[in-house]
Amino acid sequence: METAMYMRREVIGDSKVNVTEQPVDVLPLARAIAEAKNMKDNDEAFMIINLDALYERFKLWKRELPQIEPFYAVKCNSDETMVQALAALGVGFDCASREEIDIVMRMGVAQERIIYANPCKTRSFIAHAEEKGVTMMTFDNAEELEKIAKHHKCPELILRIAVSDPTATCPLNLKFGAEPVKQAPELLKRAADLGIAVIGVSFHVGSGCNDPSAYRVALGHARNLFDLGLGLGHKMEIVDIGGGFPGGEHHTPFEQIAALIRSAVGEFFPEPEVRLIAEPGRFFAARPFTLVANVIAHTAVPAEKITKNACDAAATGHMYYINDGVYGSFNCILFDHAHPTGRPLFDIEGEKYPSTIWGPTCDSLDQIEDKKMMRALDVGDWLIYEVRYICRSIIDRYRTPTIDNRPDDRNLIARSLQDMGAYTCAASTTFNGFQRPTPIYVIGERTWKALGM
Amino acid sequence: MSSSIVLSNNNSNSNSMSMIGQSPPCCSDVPNTPASEEMTRMVKNVVASWEWVPLGKDKVGIIIPADQDHRQVHKSRFVDLLEFCDETMKVKEVIAVFGRADLTVAAGFPRTLRYVGFRVVAPENFPPTLDATTHFAMTYVV
């Protein structure tokens, strides 16, 4: 149905990828696909995966942090076509499970480009890593160290330390990572006593880092531990600066974070022989994904029911139910402090009403948007979604309690429409029966050539 | 632990959990076997207030208070529990079960579990003995 929109089709792995002559323009493409679906009475939600956007993120990384090798955090989004495109660009992979190791190796990625970084490693997972030839893995306590020594013949361990940015959108559990001043040196010594090779130090400042100075503090600790490890006979050669890099617009732009990291790396690790790696997830995965979902049910209600304001009792509000929700692509709402902001796919002028958007499950948690001002929709209409990571204070300001004092939601819709990929498909593609939106992969001719696939 | 465990949204207990002896619309009895007793010991070894129930042939549910503080959970003991479920209980999935009352998914223990590899269970995929309207569940493939 959509072939007329594309120049030709290619294949990445098991997926068909639509190649366009010009760089991909997602909004008109989404509209064309929706119109084609309407002609066929097909109301299934679809996800446009724009590989041009993925390549742009890769180029941005290479421009800002050329000395740091990205190891994509597969848990963020395990879409196999995206993983294969990243593999073609030479990216390494941070895997947190057996399943993720298998996905990445099925894409032809060599085990040397994989780091196994689950914070809670069971014996069977360690044995699986050994069976697959994956040697690089993190550790942060003595029990884990001894378990790896027992169940893996030739591990190359990276000591994970706990240095977290407390202002990060999603700070990591401080239990994940050894305390860097007292506990971490003891672990290096214990590893030396056991004859286990430690090859580096890693940390993770937390997702959505707001205070990039956390990287500098962490790199300072890593330097100390590097020197200590070298003194104990470990062949220290890797510094893993973890993740936490924003996937879209953020309070602290990626460029600003990168500048601080470059400066801190130059200060603490000027030696060119030190291998610097990172574990970006949302940095790559957030932008390329755009969800388009269909309204499958609608109820008109007193606006008061939505705004919770008695003044709105006589006004009309609307509740819409769409065919994707928090147990599918909107999983990021539950865990990731994400606030997806949808809008009707087709621009039609009309009076705006307080509206609530629900997923399809009739579950009280399955709410996607609340107190949203939007024109009236019918069953069968389409909504297009991105994910915005914006200040809580801004969200609160826009969620004012009355109808009259609320700005147009479009003020919140930023330039890009492609921000729906972080911590979404990873949750929605596994064994739990979530219905995944139909994926539609698109790539511009120039990017296709750059991938060299 | 031979009585049935009822998970209730209305319970004032912080973990939304009570134990009563009648057949509930939720979890079945914990069998009285040596492996079950050891499983109980392993669960209590992580956090004393945690409980567990079998959920069908190849799944176990770990019942965790909604307000569980991750700092009170010993990581190595938690990994020991996962290994016990894998190697001794021979289950395919470990399901973390929370009462919905007072549960904060994004800021609470569910978020910690996601980093370990647990994934959300959609209501339509809940084990039949567990009430999806009053509980939140995450599953881990061992």
The answer to whether residue B108 sits within a structural domain is: yes
- Residue B106 has a pLDDT of 79
The answer to whether residue B17 sits within a structural domain is: yes
Q: Residues of A with CB below 8 A from B100's CB?
A: 364-365
- Residue B41 has a pLDDT of 96
Of B83, B124, B125, the CB nearest to A122: B83
Q: With CA atoms as reference, report the closest residue to A282 among A235, A327, A240, A335.
A: A335
The answer to whether residue B25 sits within a structural domain is: yes
The answer to whether residue B114 sits within a structural domain is: yes
**Cα separation, A320 vs A325, whole angstroms:** 12
The answer to whether residue B46 sits within a structural domain is: yes
Instruction: Give chain A's contact residues with B (Cβ, < 8 Å).
Output: 75, 96-97, 99, 118-124, 141, 143-144, 170, 172-176, 326-328, 331, 334-337, 361, 363-365, 427, 430-434
Q: Residue B83: enclosing H or E segment and its boundaries? A: helix B75-87
Helix axes A142-151, A123-131, angle to 10 degrees: 40
Distance from CA of A117 to the nearest CA of B (A): 10
Please give the residue range of the domain that contains residue B132: 6-141
Residues 12-51 of B with CB under 8 A from A: none
What domains appear along chain A, each with residue ranges and CATH number? 1-48+286-399+414-445 (2.40.37.10), 50-284 (3.20.20.10)
- Residue A362 has a pLDDT of 84
Distance from CA of B95 to the nearest CA of A (A): 12
Q: Please give the backbone phi and psi of residue A106, each rounded to the nearest 5 degrees, phi first.
A: -65, -25
- The total number of structural domains that make up chain B: 1
Distance from CA of B102 to the nearest CA of A (A): 13
The answer to whether residue B54 sits within a structural domain is: yes
Mean pLDDT of chain A: 85
Percent of chain A with pLDDT over 70: 83
pLDDT at B19 over 70: no
Q: Of residues A266 and B70, which shows the higher confidence score?
A: A266
The answer to whether residue B109 sits within a structural domain is: yes
Of A118, A143, A337, the CB nearest to B117: A118
The full length of chain A comes to: 453
pLDDT at B78 over 80: yes
Write the CATH number for B137: 3.40.630.60
Q: Residues of A with CB below 8 A from B96's CB?
A: none
Angle CA A57–A61–A67, to nearest 5: 160
Q: Residue A16: enclosing H or E segment and its boundaries? A: strand A15-20
pLDDT at B138 over 90: yes
Q: Residues of A with CB below 8 A from B83's CB?
A: 122-124
Give A441's strand partners. Answer: A17, A49
What type of residue is A292?
V
- Residue B50 has a pLDDT of 96
Q: Of residues A296 and A415, which shows the higher confidence score?
A: A296
Q: Residues of B with CB below 8 A from A187's CB?
A: none
* Burial classification of residue A39, based on how many CB atoms lie within 10 Å of its CB (0-12 exposed, 13-18 middle, 19 or more buried): exposed
CB contact under 8 A, A170 and B111: yes
Annotated catalytic, A362?
Answer: yes
- Residue A164 has a pLDDT of 64
Q: With CA atoms as reference, report the closest residue to A357 among A324, A403, A389.
A: A324
Q: What is the rounded average pLDDT of the residues A129-134?
A: 96
- pLDDT winner (highest mean) among A2-16, A290-304, B9-23: A290-304
Q: What is the rounded average pLDDT of the residues A423-432?
A: 46
CB contact under 8 A, B73 and A144: no
- pLDDT winner (highest mean) among A8-12, A40-44, A420-424: A40-44
- Residue A307 has a pLDDT of 93
Q: What is the rounded average pLDDT of the residues A361-366?
A: 89
Q: What is the rounded average pLDDT of the residues A346-367?
A: 93
Please answer whether residues A241 and A115 qualify as being in contact, where contact means their C-beta atoms are separated by less than 8 angstroms. no
When mean pLDDT is compared across A187-196, A356-365, B3-12, B28-37, the lowest value belongs to: B3-12
Q: Is B139 on the interface with A (CB under 8 A)?
A: yes
Q: With CA atoms as reference, report the closest residue to A236 among A182, A281, A276.
A: A276
Q: Of residues B74 and A324, which shows the higher confidence score?
A: A324
* Band of pLDDT at residue A407, cut at 50, 70 and 90: very low
- Residue A424 has a pLDDT of 53
Distance from CA of A160 to the nearest CA of B (A): 14
Please answer whether residues A207 and A243 qualify as being in contact, where contact means their C-beta atoms are separated by less than 8 angstroms. yes
CB contact under 8 A, B116 and A337: no
The answer to whether residue B1 sits within a structural domain is: no
Nearest chain A residue to B111 by CA distance is A335
**Cα separation, A47 vs A441, whole angstroms:** 8
- Residue A44 has a pLDDT of 95
**Cα separation, A163 vs A217, whole angstroms:** 8
Q: What is the rounded average pLDDT of the residues A112-135?
A: 94
